[in-house]
Structure 1
C-alpha cells in the first residue's frame, strides 16, 4: 500500500518528495498541455511524411540517440555544463532554424537537438552529485528519455522509468536505447511533421524544442533527485518512487 510506504519515510525526506512531485507536475504545465493538443493534430500530418521516412523513424531515432550519447559524453571535456536556460535557448534556436528549412532542415536539426537535450539531462545528473561519465549514470540519462514524451499524454501515473534498473553489461546500453527509441520516435515523428511546413515550421520547431527541453530538464531533476534522496536518506529507491506515485495520484483526485 503506498500509504504504508510513505508513513515510514522521515519528515525531511517527505518534504523533498513534495518538492520533486511539484517539479514533476511543473513538467506538465499549461504549455505542455497545449503542445499535447497540437501533437494530437500533428498525428494526422504523419501521413504526409515520405513513406520511407515514416517507416524508418524508429531506426533513425535509435541512431540519433546513439550518436547523441557518444557526442554528448565526448563534449563534456570541451564544453562545461551550461545553465538550464542556455540549453533551452540553444534548442529553441535549433528548432526555429530546422523548421525554417522545412522537412530537410528538421531532419538535420533533430540529431543536434537530441544531443543538447542529452547534455542537459547529464547536467541534471551532475548537479545532483552524480558522475555523467559513469556507466550507470549514462543508463539513467537514457532512461529519462523513456518518460512519456512532451507530445504524449502523461497523467503522472507512469513512473516506471524511475525505477527500472538493468544489469550493466557492454551491450545493455545499446539494448536500452533500442527499447526507448520506438517511444521517442513517436514524439519525434510528430515534431518532424509539425516542422514540415516552412515558416510555420519555424514557430512549431522553436516552441516544441522549448517545451521539450524544459520537460526533460524537469524529468532529469526528478529522476536524479530521487536517486540522491535514496542515498542521503538511506531509503530504498522503490519506496521513494512509491511515495512520489502516491503524491501524483493524489493530485488527480
Structure 2
C-alpha cells in the first residue's frame, strides 16, 4: 500500500491577522498600568533627569544597542532561550537592582537590560523559525526596538516598525541602530527617571523592566509572526503590513 501524504491544513489568514493585531494592541497594557500606579507620569519623567544625563542619552543608547546586539548573539552559544515568564522575572530583578541605588546603578543596569531585551527578541525570532545569526534577522531584531516601548505606547496605531527593510548588510543594521537610537533614548531616559524616584526607585525599576520585557516580547511575536505568515501564504510582506495596520486601527 502506498504512503498517503496529507496536505497541510490551509492557513486562515484573516484569523492570524486578527490574532496578531490583538496581541499588538494589548502589548504593554499591564506595564503601563503599573507605571501609572507608581505615579511615574510618562510625559514628564524625562525632565527629572540631570541635564548631563539627558545630553548623553543618544550617544549612550547608540552604544548600548550596538554592543547589546553582539552580546545577545554571543550569549546564545552558552545560554539557551528561556520561557517568557523567566525572562520577565530576570528583567524585573535587574530593574529592581538598578533602581535600588538611584541613577548610578540605573545607568549601569541599562546596557544589561538592553542586552536581555535583544536576546528575548532573538528568542522569539527562533520560535518563528528564523535564524538569529542571519543579518536580515539581526536587522529585524533592532527594528523591533524601533517600536519604542510601553512608555510611548500609542494604543496600537503605530506599526511603522513593520515597514519594509532597506538593503540588508552589517552596514544597514548599523544605520538602523543610528535611526532607532534617538527614539529609544527617549523611552530609556524615562525608564532611568522612573528608577531615580526616591524610595520607589527599586519598585519603579522592577515595574518598568517588567513592562519593557512584556512589550518587546509581544511586539517581536507580531513582527516575526507577520513575516512568517507572509512567507507561508506567499503574499508580499507590504500587503500583510497593510492588512495588519487596518486591523489594528479597526480594533481601536
Q: State the TM-score, normalizing by the size of structure 2.
A: 0.91
Unaligned runs of 5+ in 1: 1-9
Give, in angstroms, the shift of residue 198 of structure 1: 4.9
Misfit runs of 4+, over 6 Å: 36-40
Correspondence for 1:156: 156
Q: How many residues align?
A: 243
> Residues of 2 paired with 1:199 and 1:154: CA distance?
29
- By percentage of residues, which structure has more helix? 1
> Residues of 2 paired with 1:39 and 1:65: CA distance?
28
Give, in angstroms, the shift of residue 19 of structure 1: 1.1
CA distance 1:178–1:97, change in 2 (3 Å): same
Correspondence for 1:233: 233
Give, in angstroms, the shift of residue 171 of structure 1: 1.6
Correspondence for 1:84: 84
Correspondence for 1:211: 211
> Residues of 2 paired with 1:41 and 1:136: CA distance?
36
Correspondence for 2:138: 138
> Residues of 1 paired with 2:22 and 2:45: CA distance?
34
> Residues of 1 paired with 2:90 and 2:30: CA distance?
22
> Residues of 2 paired with 1:215 and 1:101: CA distance?
25
> Residues of 1 paired with 2:37 and 2:249: CA distance?
22
Q: State the TM-score, normalizing by the size of structure 1.
A: 0.90
CA distance 1:37–1:175, change in 2 (3 Å): farther
CA distance 1:115–1:165, change in 2 (3 Å): same
> Residues of 2 paired with 1:238 and 1:160: CA distance?
11
Unaligned runs of 5+ in 2: 1-9
Q: What does the per-residue CA deviation read over 1:127-170, in whole Å, with 9 as the maximum and x for residues that have no partner? A: 00000010000000000000142101413221111123011233
> Residues of 2 paired with 1:227 and 1:125: CA distance?
10
